[in-house]
Structure 1
Amino acid sequence: MHYHENIVLIGMPGAGKSTVGVVLAKSLGMQFIDTDILIQERTGKMLQEILDEDGADAFKRIEEETILSLHSSRAVIATGGSVVRSEAAMAHLKSEGVVVYLEIAYEEMEARLKNITARGILLLPGQSLREMYDERVPLYEKYADLTVACSGEDLESVVQRVVEAL
């Protein structure tokens, strides 16, 4: 692993991409980028507002544009859980770094997402949390260079596992 590349974290909502990302960046001396925060800065809206006011398609387009405009090096990049639905965004991220899938079991995700509405989770119209999980798992697996199991693990041990995997 060359640390001039980026480390891109993908995974379900609640998998810990942002929290793991911050600690990982600190421990490797890299910068930290959270694409959800970039989207909020770019639009001046909370993620949930974009979903509610503009819809899922608009959100996907904004997320894709935000990621395609990202040209960083030596960064840990935490992505939104829905990023894998964009082939263009994932191709761009893969070309500039190593993609690490933080894998959690469905039950763990459900437990971590106590308050789903404020989190800006991209559920398609009529889609249940379970359906979203089942739809995304194969996509995360397809794009991952490395997979780190995170269920039942605390923050420090997940960070340690990611470092070891790299």
Structure 2
Amino acid sequence: MHHHKNIVLIGMPGAGKSTVGVVLAKSLGMQFIDTDILIQERTGRMLQEILDEGGSDAFKRIEEETILSFHSPRAVIATGGSVVYSGDAMAHLKSRGVVVYLKISYEEMEARLKNITTRGILLLPGQSLRGMYDQRVPLYERYADLTVACSGEDFESVVGNVIEAL
């Protein structure tokens, strides 16, 4: 088990990183950190406001700065789906923990993201949801130490599968 290190959850919006992360942290007796909440605390703004006001570049910069600025010894960390656009942020997270990719199908993501406009999801200018999915999958695969399939699984099973994979 990797309990002396962080467990970093990456994956698409709607993959369940925050939900699985909370339950996983409880199960393992670890702290839980959600980087999207850290960004909101740090900026005093909702993710969607940052995207609306500054666009995707501003959001990516703030996300990267937020991740590079925190150092936690033993936490389950749920990251924003766009964290993989920053090589520096991912190197920082990987050096301090094991990266677990919660993998869902495009169809599952689409079904889970009914409220897309208010969720603070980073779509590049002119990018469709499908385009975002196809662009990010290879990045998640590149950075993942472990991959756990989550399509059609309830959160409790996913948590069990993550613990087993670790």
TM-score range, shorter chain: over 0.9
1:14 paired with 2:6, answer no
Structure 2 gaps, min length 5: none
Aligned to 1:52: 52
1:104 counterpart residue number: 104
Q: Aligned equivalents of 2:109 and 2:47: distance in 1?
A: 19
TM-score by length of structure 2 reads 0.99
Structure 1 alignment gaps of length 5 or more: none
Separation of aligned partners in 2, 1:31 and 1:155: 19
CA RMSD of aligned residues (A): 0.4
Percent identity between matched residues is 87
TM-score (normalizing by structure 1): 0.99
Q: CA deviation at 1:4?
A: 1.5
Report the Cα distance in structure 1 between the residues aligned to 2:4 and 2:34, rounded to whole angstroms: 18
Q: By how many angstroms is 1:70 displaced?
A: 1.2
Q: C-alpha displacement at 1:164, in angstroms?
A: 0.0
**SS of structure 2 residue aligned to 1:141:** helix
How far, CA to CA, are the matches of 1:141 and 1:38 in structure 2? 25
The AA in structure 2 aligned to 1:70 is F
Runs of 4+ with deviation above 3 angstroms: none
Instruction: Write the deviation string for residues 84-118 of structure 1: whole angstroms up to 9, x where unpaired.
Output: 00000000000000000000000000000001001
Deviation at 1:43, TM superposition (A): 0.3
Instruction: Count matched residues.
Output: 166
Which residue does the alignment assign to 1:146?
Answer: 146
